[in-house]
Structure 1
Amino acid sequence: MADILDQAVAALRRMPAADRESMAQAILTVTQGSPTLDIEPDHLPFVLEGLAQLDRGEFIEGDPEGLIAAAFRRHLR
């Protein structure tokens, strides 16, 4: 079985080109130690709730690759 990096790259390759670009940029931002994106104060409670859901092991059903790509596209403009 492929390691997690191979799985992630394979998932990225299945995404539409625009989504791949957004995700690739996000990965480069994180790996290069670039500053993180600011969170709008109005959005902070929702972000914190999402992190709490992750801590509790609650995950989104459906198409996680598409959902994540959409989130990054929205914030990387």
Structure 2
Amino acid sequence: MNRILKEVIEHAETWPLEDQEELAEYAREIEARRTGIYTMSDDERSAVGKGLAEADRGEFVSDELTSETDKRHGE
């Protein structure tokens, strides 16, 4: 690991957790761009699981609400 990266990580260890998570997200995005593989964070994995569970229960946004939203966004 180069000196600059070591310094950033040492400083980041003192940051609030929210800022550390943001730095980790940037690192995941860079890794995804370099490898073509994106690794989800725990929060993203949880949100996807929640969405899949809602879909399994048949809980979808109504077509009417979707159409209204599309109209507001010019689609």
Same fold by TM-score greater than 0.5: no
- Which of 1 and 2 has greater Rg? 2
Bin the TM-score by the shorter chain. 0.3 to 0.5
Higher RCO structure, 1 or 2 (CA under 8 Å, sep 6+): 1
| Structure with more of its chain in helix, by fraction | 2
Q: TM-score, normalising length from structure 2? A: 0.38
